């Protein structure tokens, strides 16, 4: 039994390494993307203390790990600004780099607005100005859409999480491109070459490898189809909702991300109505103590708090159908009309002066599926309208995924 489990793990490790472009021995299995990010930042800061450099729009798994490294190891955190288009500011990055830097972490695809970061240019600057630093990238959002082995070729460490590409929840990996000295987060057995102690999640690891292989095999066709769906969705919503604008319009994005700002409507109320209409959506901001907090990503991009509170994030996946896009094109304008007071047409939301990163946890992704299961993406929904119950508007559901 033990030999069979070991063989299954070894085969899964070979498959993950092949897709990510590294050696099997350089893949460390974790419980997900959050643990992989924490292992990269805290592990590196513990092994080689020094400043930690992050962009202002990183996932909170990175930002909070950087803050923890500062507390635990007196490792100063240097935050790099981003542009109004949600891309790391390469003119600001050199300011944060010097020979003392321990680690630089820049995500491959932003988890809220979907922008692709210029990791190759970041790597070149890091090598030149901070030669002792290692470069980490959170590629959790990138795997379904891009060849990570190619796009993250300049990174020393790459984090992934299985649930983002159809694998099981609760499993991920940190892949290494070169030898990096890390302090482990957990102590115990010699698993993962003493970099991550604990009994392996065999079923999860095998499932992740299978999903990763399947994703890589169908990526090109899926990306083309989903990109067209996303463009149709964004164009239709912008045409039908006065005062709506697309964030980072014109930037390279993950094909499945559609992120809008809608004037005159707060996300919290909009999500409840969309849930009632059978549409799973998110806002890209956190709900704490009953009050919406503006997204730290949007604030870093220069949007005002009030504008950021009108965010709507719709994510499409490989199972999304044209009927579900049609549902969104009907439901979102209807929900906005229901919530807005009667009055003049609103201007599209604009940018304010750039502000510091604010609170807010990037919201859960949703893949829409017309399988008759009630939507579960928003708590507090007060019931189902007649048009949904009668079948006039088909139902959609939110896949149960980690809130990352």
**Which phi and psi (to 5°) does residue 251 adopt?**
-85, 155
**Which phi and psi (to 5°) does residue 195 adopt?**
-100, -15
CA dist 293 to 3, 47, 274, 298, 395, Å? Answer: 50, 35, 19, 11, 29
Give the start-end residues of each E strand in 278-352: 287-288, 291-292, 311-315
> How is residue 197 written in tokens?
């102690």
Axis-axis angle for helices 267-276, 322-339 (nearest 10): 130
Chain centre to alpha carbon of residue 172: 14
Cβ 110 vs Cβ 117: under 8 Å:
yes
Q: Which residue from 377, 319, 287, 57 is spatially nearest to 165, judged by alpha carbons?
A: 319
Could you say which of 287, 299, 308, 393 is catalytic? Answer: 287
Q: Which residue from 16, 20, 13, 15 is spatially nearest to 152, judged by alpha carbons?
A: 20
Buried b (16+ CB within 10 A) or exposed e, 99-117: eebbbbbbbbbbbbbbbbb
268-272 long-range contacts, Cβ below 8 Å, gap at least 24?
A: 268/292, 269/339, 270/312, 270/335, 270/336, 270/339, 271/377, 271/378, 272/378, 272/380, 272/381, 272/382
Torsion of CA 57, 61, 63, 65, to 10 degrees: -160
258 is catalytic: no
Cβ 115 vs Cβ 253: under 8 Å:
yes
Buried b (16+ CB within 10 A) or exposed e, 61-98: bbbbbbbbbeeebebbbbbbbbbeebbbeeeebeebbb
DSSP label at residue 230: H
* Helix, strand, or coil (residue 70): helix
Burial class (CB in 10 A: 0-12, 13-18, 19+), 57: buried
Residues designated as active site: 287
């Amino acid at each position: 039994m033990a030999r069979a489990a070991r063989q299954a793990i070894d085969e899964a490790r070979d498959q993950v390494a092949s897709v990510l472009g590294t050696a099997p021995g350089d893949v460390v299995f974790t419980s997900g993307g959050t643990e992989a990010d924490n292992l990269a930042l805290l592990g590196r800061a513990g092994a080689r203390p020094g400043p930690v450099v992050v962009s202002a729009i990183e996932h909170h798994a990175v930002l909070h790990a950087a803050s923890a490294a500062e507390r635990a190891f007196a490792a100063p955190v240097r935050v790099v600004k981003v542009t109004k288009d949600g891309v790391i500011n390469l003119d600001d990055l050199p300011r944060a780099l010097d020979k003392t830097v321990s680690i630089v972490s820049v995500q491959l695809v932003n988890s809220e607005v979907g922008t692709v970061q210029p990791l190759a240019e970041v790597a070149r600057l890091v090598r030149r100005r901070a030669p002792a630093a290692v470069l980490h990238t959170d590629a959790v959002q990138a795997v379904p859409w891009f060849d990570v082995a190619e796009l993250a070729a300049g990174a020393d460490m790459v984090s992934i999480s299985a649930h983002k590409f159809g694998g099981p929840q609760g499993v991920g990996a940190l892949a290494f491109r070169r030898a990096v000295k890390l302090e482990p987060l957990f102590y115990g057995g010699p698993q993962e070459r003493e970099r991550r102690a604990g009994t392996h999640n065999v079923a999860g690891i095998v499932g992740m490898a299978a999903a990763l292989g399947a994703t890589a095999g169908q990526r090109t066709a899926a990306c083309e189809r989903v990109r067209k769906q996303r463009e149709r969705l964004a164009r239709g919503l912008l045409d039908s909702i006065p005062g709506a604008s697309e964030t980072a319009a014109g930037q390279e994005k993950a094909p499945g991300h559609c992120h809008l700002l809608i004037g005159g409507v707060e996300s919290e109320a909009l999500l409840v109505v969309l849930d009632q209409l059978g549409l799973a959506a998110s806002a890209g901001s956190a709900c704490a103590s009953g009050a919406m907090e503006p997204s730290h990503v949007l604030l870093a991009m220069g949007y005002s708090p009030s504008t950021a509170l009108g965010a709507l994030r719709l994510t499409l996946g490989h199972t999304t159908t044209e009927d579900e896009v049609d549902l969104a094109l009907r439901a979102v304008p209807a929900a906005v009309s229901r919530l807005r007071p009667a009055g003049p047409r609103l201007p599209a939301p604009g940018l304010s002066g750039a502000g510091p990163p604010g609170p807010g946890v990037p919201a859960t992704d949703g893949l829409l599926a017309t399988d008759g299961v009630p939507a579960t993406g928003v708590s507090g929904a007060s019931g189902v309208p007649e048009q949904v119950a009668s079948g006039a508007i088909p139902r959609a559901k939110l896949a149960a995924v980690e809130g990352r």
